[in-house]
Structure 1
Amino acid sequence: MNFPYHTLMVQGCTSDAGKSTVVAALCRLLARDGIRVVPFKPQNMALNSAVTADGGEIGRAQALQAVAAGLAPHTDMNPVLLKPSSDTGAQIIIHGRVAADMHAHDYHNYKPRAMAAVLESYQRLRAQYQVVLVEGAGSPAEVNLRARDIANMGFAEEVDCPVILVADIDKGGVFAHLIGTLACLSDSERARIAGFVINRFRGDASMLSDGLDWLERQTGKPVLAVLPYLQGLTLDAEDAVETTQQHGHFRIVVPRLPHISNHTDFDALRAHPDVDLVFARAGDALPPAELIILPGSKNTRSDLAFLRAQGWDAAISRHLRYGGKVIGICGGYQMLGAQIHDPDGLEGAAGSSTGLDLLAMETVLTGDKRLQNVAGHCTFAEAAVSGYEIHMGRSQGAALAKPAFLINGAAEGAISNDHQVLGSYLHGLFDHPEAQAALLDWAGMKQARAVDLAALREASIERIADACLPLYRALQAL
């Protein structure tokens, strides 16, 4: 095997330094060389998740990395997933299944059990694959999180693996980020840093040479690669909402809710040349649009209250009066009903909330989470649809007698009698080209063309792999 590591960890000086992208690129490069490689992230905190082949839930970044490695996503690739439901609490998912809802302090005490799950998954992957590429979380310089760490150096020390450290030069202060991160590490942690990667550089790399020489003298560590800033990539985001938008003629507005989840639902629309996709922020008025989409939410009742506080409920009513269309996805679908009940306080204080009353249905939140990949067809067009369900709760009511989709012959979602409102539990509605074109046509974009999201994603993986070839060669030479 022409790769010197059985396990290699990629850590970053900051969140969004490019760890996920570097791991995906290295997965593709190793797979190109016929090396059996698997991505692994011990602990992920994200509201974007994917359903795995074994019926569990992992972060979207690991699902993307699995695609880069030529694998089906599996829960062992991300054994601990934290899905924030408030500023201080999160749903804890272990091996793809909900284990508990915890306050941050309680989770800190739970970490030894979480580490046991991490090592169990790691050992299974280590036995099956030639290379395990590990992605850290946030930054190893977060000294307040060092005790019982399972996400960064705590894991690297436990399994005794080398680490490469990624810094984002586009943010500025790249040398301070690298030097400062090393200063926050223990001697043994610094010793396992194999080298640095400077990411998202624009311009002539020769202009960096003096700085790189200084960095190597100061640290005794090599700069393994300087990676370029790549525009126009279509890759699943781990968490942060990407606000880049097309400026086509067909405007779609998505209210940006505080607990928005799986906003990757909109990646295909973001890439569509005829769509002007706008994420409305707190304090913004909803602009005129052909279509409003209420996204998924990790705390549906709280986000519904936020939506009302912004005056967006009135804006949605006005939008419908003028003939606009509305789609609700997952939590957004639940908001379209008459009532949302949370009798057990699963997402906050127990109680009920009045919905937007645009579909004749009610939802009761329940402790069991539905996780599955599905396929079927649209009821309003001759078009196939595929997607995945990740939700707690069951909806009932007269609206469900007019479903939006048929999944294995079973009704799913709802369409209002006036055909202005559509709701569904399916994430990834716009990913399938046929369903995307049918939904856009339903919303008013006649003869809508479709964007093939899977093809765009594959092309982007190839681009980042090609850009990371210098890093791959440098690692091979170590």
Structure 2
Amino acid sequence: MPSIMIQGTTSDAGKSVMVAALCRILKNHGYSVAPFKPQNMALNSAVTKDGGEIGRAQAVQAQAAGIAPHTDMNPVLLKPNSDTGAQVIVHGKAIANMEANYYHQHKPKLLEAVLESHQRLLTQYDWVVVEGAGSPAEINLRDRDIANMGFAEAADCPVIIVADIDRGGVFAHLLGTMQCLSDSEQNRVIGFIINRFRGDPSLLTSGLEWLEEKTGKPVLGVVPYIENLHIEAEDSIQTSVQNKAATQIKIAIIAVPRISNHTDFDALRLHPNVHVQYVKYPNDLDDCDVLILPGSKSVRRDFQWLEEKQWIPLIHQHLRYGGKVVGICGGLQMLGSWIHDPKGIESEAGSSKTLGFLDFETTLHPDKQLRNVSGIWHYENVNFSGYEIHSGESTGPAFAKAQFELQCGNESIQDGLFSDDDKIMGSYVHGIFDSPEFIKAFLKWSGQSATVDFNYYDFQESEIDRLAHTVEEHLDWQSVIKSKG
């Protein structure tokens, strides 16, 4: 079967980046390749060419493979909306909000959807590189598993297990994981990858020999720690920054509890002329030029959190002192007067009075708006592209003065709301800062000028190439190829 599955001993062991690396390596060797994750749990998502929603990591992996993202690459996406429940998205469309116990009972039906997507990809590509979720050693999740060995057994897929040595205890992680697997599951493991190693590889020799003796499986590669590697995160917020040539503008992003699509701001964070700070509590806020309200999976709950943590007076103070405020998606909804959720789409039914900076109201509906868009910002007549993922419909006089003219197919959409004093900006469009001309105009609107041109897409490509070259150099490539059979 032309599939290989990357599973991990823990979350954040390096599964996502290893799949991205293998997709780019296979592409570079002339194969057609697609990424695949049976079940993903993440609040960072992307809109596909077929108008559905998948995990952001799979969109990045598709970029590494040189293809457009498709809903078959992540047939089941879970977007948590509480500690025990999540919105369940199947083949790109939200089907229900489910509590964990009910979802567990529903898994056998979802396995059918997972295998359908996998089979379609197998018929289109030379290789399908599959990413597991969490760890296959999570005993409480083994029953009805569709994300790790449950999928691998059903699809008859060989498995490589990756572990992060930078965390410590790598040999215990790998041996312990193997001992938690059944005989048939152990048999489909073709080897291990040790990730993020610092130092002299010869110091690992005795450990590698011991591990192979204990498990009967080879270590296929020891991948070194790659300094300042940027591959968009599946869910965790990345706060590290590159060396700045000349920091001119300071931007703070309020890290609300249910923040979604925070990858919107990676292009800002990595721009040589911008300093970005993620802030959870008002006392942690340094002086900044721009304060950003990001997307939210539960916008009314997150706005209530802003009120409870005393963010609202600080936002008003920031504006009085000449700062600017930006809202993206859920953040845009907070800039209006009211958010209504009559059917309890995101939380309990009801309405929330919000900041009232812009003259519009938002009503949440069961059907999501999912679309890729391109547009022009009339402020500097710059072109940009992005995507929309939201349940709310916003209406009001503020849209009559919208500055973004969006296109989705033949449909024209008004977006980009600005206050009369030009201190406040809001948009439903994710990914707008990825466009080089837009970010240059945005910095000018913010009161600064970029002294360095920065193309985020080109930067992403160079980082994927750097990752792929490093992994290929330290991976037993022939053993991976032979696993295809």
What range is the shorter-chain TM-score in?
over 0.9
Distance 2:340 2:284 in 1: 28
User: 1:339-382 CA distances to partner (integer Å, 9 max, x unpaired)?
Assistant: 11100001111001111111111110111101111011112222
> What is the aligned partner in structure 1 of residue 286 from structure 2?
287
Identity %: 56
> What is the aligned partner in structure 1 of residue 434 from structure 2?
431
- Counterparts of 1:234-245 in structure 2, within 5 Å, are 234-245=230-241
Q: CA RMSD in A?
A: 1.3
Paired residue secondary structure (2:375): strand
- Counterparts of 1:341-420 in structure 2, within 5 Å, are 341-408=340-407, 409-420=412-423
For residue 194 of structure 1, report the CA deviation from its aligned partner.
0.6
User: 1:182-213 CA distances to partner (integer Å, 9 max, x unpaired)?
Assistant: 12111111111110000011111111111111
Distance 2:284 2:130 in 1: 42
For residue 233 of structure 1, report the CA deviation from its aligned partner.
2.2
Distance 2:432 2:378 in 1: 14
- Counterparts of 1:23-42 in structure 2, within 5 Å, are 23-42=19-38
Tell me which of 72, 75, 78 is aligned to 1:82.
78
* 1:338 maps to amino acid: S
Distance 1:173 1:283 in 2: 37
* 2:172 maps to amino acid: A
> What is the aligned partner in structure 2 of residue 183 from structure 1?
179
* 1:150 maps to amino acid: I
8 A contact 1:436–1:450 mirrored in 2: no
For residue 477 of structure 1, report the CA deviation from its aligned partner.
5.7
8 A contact 1:225–1:474 mirrored in 2: no
> What is the aligned partner in structure 2 of residue 120 from structure 1?
116
For residue 307 of structure 1, report the CA deviation from its aligned partner.
1.2
User: 1:402-429 CA distances to partner (integer Å, 9 max, x unpaired)?
Assistant: 2131113532131000000000000001
* 1:346 maps to amino acid: I
8 A contact 2:38–2:75 mirrored in 1: yes
- For normalisation by structure 2, the TM-score amounts to 0.95
Paired residue secondary structure (2:238): coil
Tell me which of 195, 206, 211 is aligned to 2:202.
206
8 A contact 1:170–1:200 mirrored in 2: yes
- Counterparts of 1:292-307 in structure 2, within 5 Å, are 292-307=291-306
For residue 328 of structure 1, report the CA deviation from its aligned partner.
0.1
Distance 1:404 1:47 in 2: 28
Paired residue secondary structure (1:276): strand
Tell me which of 442, 462, 466 is aligned to 1:463.
466
1:475 equivalent to 2:471? Answer no
Paired residue secondary structure (1:356): coil
Alpha-carbon distance change, 474 to 464 in structure 1, aligned in 2, over 3 angstroms:
farther
1:442 equivalent to 2:445? Answer yes
* 1:454 maps to amino acid: Y
Where do 5+ consecutive residues of structure 1 fail to align?
none
> What is the aligned partner in structure 1 of residue 329 from structure 2?
330
Tell me which of 115, 125, 137 is aligned to 2:133.
137
* 2:459 maps to amino acid: L
* 2:437 maps to amino acid: E
Distance 2:423 2:254 in 1: 18
Alignment length (residue pairs): 474
> What is the aligned partner in structure 2 of residue 162 from structure 1?
158
- For normalisation by structure 1, the TM-score amounts to 0.97
Paired residue secondary structure (1:430): helix
> What is the aligned partner in structure 2 of residue 15 from structure 1?
11
For residue 234 of structure 1, report the CA deviation from its aligned partner.
2.5
Q: Name which of structure 1's ranges 162-171 and 243-252 shifts more when overlaid on structure 2.
A: 243-252
> What is the aligned partner in structure 2 of residue 252 from structure 1?
251
> What is the aligned partner in structure 2 of residue 269 from structure 1?
268
Where do 5+ consecutive residues of structure 2 fail to align?
none
Alpha-carbon distance change, 477 to 130 in structure 1, aligned in 2, over 3 angstroms:
closer
Distance 1:429 1:50 in 2: 13
Distance 1:344 1:11 in 2: 39
Tell me which of 93, 111, 118 is aligned to 1:97.
93
For residue 305 of structure 1, report the CA deviation from its aligned partner.
0.8
8 A contact 1:286–1:315 mirrored in 2: no
> What is the aligned partner in structure 1 of residue 66 from structure 2?
70
Distance 1:473 1:171 in 2: 28
8 A contact 2:369–2:391 mirrored in 1: yes
For residue 337 of structure 1, report the CA deviation from its aligned partner.
0.7
For residue 228 of structure 1, report the CA deviation from its aligned partner.
1.0
Distance 1:175 1:405 in 2: 54
Alpha-carbon distance change, 311 to 285 in structure 1, aligned in 2, over 3 angstroms:
farther
